[in-house]
Amino acid sequence: MSNDSYEIAAEALSLAEARRGSLRGILFSLKGKSGRNWKSVYALAHETQRFHEVLQAAIEECSPVEELCEGLRDRKLWWLVRVLCYDATIGSGRKKVRSRKGSIARIVSKNANVLVDAIEAQHGGQWHNRNDLLGNGDDAKGLPRYARINLIKGTRERALSIYREEGYEVAVDEHIPNLLVFPSGTDLHSHETVGRGEVILQDKSSCMAAEAISPQRNWLVLDACAAPGNKTTHLASILSSMGSTIRPCVLALDRDEKRFQILKDRVKNAGAEDLVQCTRTDFLSIDPASKPFCDVKAIVLDPSCSGSGLVNRVSVSKSSDEEHVKRLDKLAHVQKLLLKHALSFPNVVIVSYSTCSIYREENEMVVASVLGDDVFVSGAWGLSRALPQWKNRGLENTFDESQMCIRTDPVLDNTNGFFLARFERAQPTPGQVLSVGAESKSPLAKQPEPSIGKPMPNLTKAGSGRKRRAKAWRRGIRP
């Protein structure tokens, strides 16, 4: 393994921990820096993240390595220790590790056997498969692998034929017709269909925003916080399959330079360059009355959030309840500003608001606050029932129309934690906000500005007490 590979993997993990983006997105941004070793860096970072708790417990039983970590103030070096520990113990070969940070590598290599013994002691002896170290829960084994068909370049039938001929176990998702589902652990990153852009690796929950919009054929749709681009290319795929004749049919915005480059790369790989216009800018700086934004009919808004619904997200730092509450307060404030801005576009009739958070402060309370702002909304907007076939709805006792929203739960739904609300322009009596869904027409009670409460329990952990059926990845999908 290249010395640089260890350090780049550690850099990616430290950036993910600092909430600079998802680990996968950060790794893509470091692809040029990794060169030919990118696949090795990708695997190292993801596996170190996946086995972090196992590695941490082993380090605590190995005094020299634990003391080394306690003396490190640089989080990149802190993560470097864990990357090296992974490759020296759980990684294939359990080899002697080397790094340009020679003293760190020497301590890890010298104590590799002690670390292995500690891991074995945790799990009652030697392991035959490293996944055994993660326990028996489905969450530990990981979620199914989802792969979305890019209708700009391919078809579902062609992809299914290729995968089945090659012996893959694959099914079609029940709720999203062009989403394929594979067992957890299926690695498609180097598959030719992914390389050609015919198939895009995208979690099921992430696909729900574009599906909820349900755009008409020649709508112009705006993706307000577009990077890394999966929702953008999904919108382009849907509109292309409908025979959209307008160019571009998707406007994609993002303000971050590195993430914007990832967005452009993904749009190009998807063959969507003539369908999508990418612009590096802050969504809040856009004048809704200016061209081409005054012609937008629908907006996908998936703003920055806590990421608390992501099963595999790096989450190591221990913050106090007070710090956590302050952070949620800041996030919710920005989310409300973004949502109000989206609802101000003159010709927009549908807005999808979504987060990958489990916290009501970023979800139901943001929606309730914006809908309860009569000065701003003036009865022009309501909620329609997002994805009516989806059973898991918004949290009760948050606001009257919470059941119009949807939630996903890793344990119940085999996908990352996610929230979505579908706003639809309505024509109610001035001063009232109505639900415009098929199931409810009652006025939405005005809601006070929500206070930020204590965080909800982490729904992604395995100790929920629920028993899971065998082959859980097949639940909710059709063959």
pLDDT at site 442: 30
d(CA 223, CA 254) in angstroms, rounded, equals 9
Choice between 133 and 249, residue whose per-residue pLDDT is larger: 249
Catalytically active residues, by annotation: 356
Confirm or deny that 132 is annotated as ligand binding: no
- How many other C-beta atoms can be found within 10 angstroms of the C-beta atom of residue 56? 14
Query: What is the distance between the terminal CA atoms of the chain, rounded to a whole angstrom?
Result: 41
Q: Residue 473's pLDDT band (boundaries 50, 70, 90)?
A: very low
**CB of 354 closer than 8 Å to CB of 394:** no
For 41-63, how does the pLDDT look when each residue is reduced to its tens digit (9 = 90+)? 988 898 898 888 889 888 988 88
**CB of 154 closer than 8 Å to CB of 199:** yes
pLDDT at site 98: 64
pLDDT at site 438: 35
**Mean pLDDT rounded to a whole number for the chain:** 82
pLDDT over 80 (residue 439): no
Confirm or deny that 227 is annotated as ligand binding: yes
**CB of 184 closer than 8 Å to CB of 146:** no
Residues linked to residue 354 through DSSP beta bridges, in sequence order: 420
pLDDT over 50 (residue 176): yes
pLDDT over 80 (residue 164): yes
Over residues 115-127, mean pLDDT: 72
Q: Extract long-range pairs of 286-292: CB within 8 Å, 24+ residues apart.
A: 286/253, 286/341, 288/341, 288/344, 288/345, 288/346, 289/346, 292/220, 292/251
Q: Which of 55-64, 334-343, 422-431: highest mean pLDDT?
A: 334-343
- Pairing between strand 221-223 and 298-301? parallel
pLDDT over 50 (residue 449): no
Dump the DSSP string for 400-447.
TTGGGSEEE-HHHHSS--EEEEEEEE---STT--B--SSS--SBPPP-
Choice between 124 and 163, residue whose per-residue pLDDT is larger: 163
For the CA atoms of 372, 375, 379, 380, what is the dihedral angle to 10 degrees?
-110
Confirm or deny that 147 is annotated as ligand binding: no
d(CA 61, CA 15) in angstroms, rounded, equals 27
For residue 434 the two structure tokens come to 């109505």
**CB of 308 closer than 8 Å to CB of 417:** yes
User: How far is CA 456 from each of CA 321, 336, 359, 396, rounded to the nearest angstrom?
Assistant: 11, 20, 6, 14
Choice between 307 and 464, residue whose per-residue pLDDT is larger: 307
**CB of 448 closer than 8 Å to CB of 372:** yes
Confirm or deny that 282 is annotated as ligand binding: yes
For residue 475 the two structure tokens come to 């639940």
pLDDT at site 373: 78
Confirm or deny that 226 is annotated as ligand binding: yes
Peptide bond connecting 443 to the previous residue in cis, omega within 30 degrees of 0: no
**CB of 214 closer than 8 Å to CB of 420:** no
For 339-383, how does the pLDDT look when each residue is reduced to its tens digit (9 = 90+)? 999 999 999 999 999 999 999 999 999 999 999 876 666 568 999
d(CA 363, CA 305) in angstroms, rounded, equals 10
User: How far is CA 320 from each of CA 310, 317, 361, 453, 455, rounded to the nearest angstrom?
Assistant: 20, 10, 17, 13, 11
pLDDT at site 460: 35
pLDDT over 70 (residue 136): no
What is the b/e burial string over 115-153, where b = at least 16 CB atoms within 10 angstroms of the residue's CB? bbebbeeeeeeeeeebeebbeeebbbbbbbbbbbbbbbb
Closest by alpha carbon to 241, among 148, 322, 336? 148
Q: Which amino acid, residue 213? A: I
pLDDT at site 100: 59
Out of 11-15, 132-136, 275-279, 444-448, pick the least confident.
Answer: 444-448
Share of the chain above pLDDT 90, in %: 52
